[in-house]
Amino acid sequence: MQWLLAVIGIWCSGTGCAPRSAAQRTGPSRVRPGIEVLLSDSIHLVRGRRVGLVTNQSGVDARGISDIDRLRNAGIHLVALFSPEHGFRGNADPGASVGSMVDSATGLPIYSLYGRTSSPADSMLAGLDVVLVDLQDAGARYYTYLWTTANVMRAAAKNGKRVIVLDRPNPIGGAVEGNVLDTAYASPVGLLAIPMRHGMTLGELALLARSDLGLGTELTVIPVEGWRRSMYFDETGLPFIPPSPNLRSLESLIHYPGLCLFEGTNLSVGRGSDAPFEQVGATWLDTTLVLAALRTRHVPGVEFSAVTFTPHNPGDGKYADTTVAGIRLRVTDRSVYQPTVAATVLLSVIASSERGFSWIPAQFDRLAGERSGLRDSLAQHHIDYLGPVWSGERQRFLERRRPFLLYPDNPTAARQ
């Protein structure tokens, strides 16, 4: 098991190999998000132009003032708004189709890019000169905001419009973990050949997407000022706004690159419960058996415990409004915690020992970004197989992404 942890590992970037533990952190730094940098240093890019804005509730400055207010107060001619999954206010259920509407505060149209329309229509872009994108990514491959950004870039290129990404920090830092997606499985929850935990910002991913997808977009990324790749969100000094209804805390975001795999099984990840993506459970789960098996494995930086919880979100079709037995994960030292390792170990234990367990094959493979090899390895308790495969994939990814990085990086750092 120690060998597995070393080989699967976390490849870190930034000024140090690994993020500091909570006890070692000093205090929040002064970080300026892209919206502030645009208005202070690059306002000429939008002044006198007709502007569209792709954003949601996370599009705010360091004081929590919305991009819309900041742009309008700066005299920028804002013409249209666009929203991603979860809607303009970020409260729609995952996967729910969101309709277009009018913003009651400004009278501006809000065009939904998640539902019946996933890409801006030509008519939506006709009255614009430039499209701004300001979305808070989650730091995991499964999050759909890169897919939305790429669709905007593709439509903008077709219509001769410039795209400007107002960058934000990766909330879970620069660690890189997990397998690299096979593009044969490209989907809204995995668009590019990137790992489960990619360690990049949305601006960097947009640059990578333009290259990988061959987009002819005129693209500018306004970087975050003061952010280092080793930083977690609570080290930035920026206000934390949940990027979606079931990622309500930094703790849930840290677990998300691993626990999202459970969406491809018949276990609940706690959607609508008190701690979504911090726990998994089912009515048939024997938590005593699972915890006993976990005690024989060394998974650093995390504590497992038995809980009960009640999912309330019917969207995943699992145990809605039913109390289930669960396993809760709590980060004890994030400088050594590897969520993809913790999730694969937990999956392997449950899949190989619980008769009530089953896969949702198409969904799991879509999230895993590969054929059933990962499922087979986990079910047969052969997770050591993953180490050499994932390590080689990740090293090639680190080299491939290098030209698109905008922030301090240490590409040789690997924790042993």
Give me the tens of pLDDT residue by residue for the chain, a chain 416 residues long.
433 443 333 333 332 333 334 334 445 568 999 999 999 999 999 999 999 999 999 999 999 999 999 999 999 999 999 999 876 764 555 555 566 677 778 889 999 998 788 999 999 999 999 999 999 999 999 999 999 999 999 999 999 999 999 999 999 999 999 999 999 999 999 999 999 999 999 999 999 999 999 999 999 999 999 999 999 999 999 999 999 999 999 999 999 999 999 999 999 999 999 999 999 999 999 999 999 999 998 899 999 999 999 999 766 779 999 999 999 999 999 999 999 999 999 999 999 888 899 999 999 999 999 876 788 777 666 666 676 778 889 999 999 999 999 997 644 333 22
Classify each residue of 188-207 as buried b or exposed e, where b means 16 or more C-beta atoms within 10 Å of its C-beta.
bbbbbbbbbbbbbbbbbbbb
| Three-class SS state of 255 | helix
The residue among 354, 146, 197, 392 whose CA lies nearest residue 267 is: 354
DSSP string, 287-351: HHHHHHHHTTS--TTEEEEEEEE----GGG-SSTT--EEEEEEEES-TTT--HHHHHHHHHHHHH
DSSP string, 215-245: ---EEEEEPPBS--TT--GGGS-PPP--SBT
Residue 158 phi, psi (nearest 5): -60, -35
Predicted confidence at residue 95, as pLDDT, reads 52
> Please, which residues have CB within 8 angstroms of residue 303's CB and are 6 or more apart in sequence?
329, 330, 332
- Which secondary-structure segment (H or E) carries 279? strand 279-282
| Parallel, antiparallel or unpaired: strands 279-282 and 324-331 | antiparallel
Entry pTM: 0.88
Token pair for 377: 């390895």
From residue 160, give the alpha-carbon distance in Å to each of 20, 44, 208, 405. 44, 19, 20, 26
Predicted confidence at residue 7, as pLDDT, reads 35
Task: Give the span between the Cα atoms of 269 and 261, in whole angstroms.
Answer: 9
Instruction: Extract long-range pairs of 285-290: CB within 8 Å, 24+ residues apart.
Output: 285/324, 285/325, 285/326, 285/327, 285/350, 285/354, 285/356, 286/325, 286/354, 287/325, 287/326, 287/327, 289/353, 289/354, 290/327, 290/346, 290/349, 290/350, 290/353, 290/354
Token pair for 355: 């008769």
| Parallel, antiparallel or unpaired: strands 162-166 and 130-134 | parallel
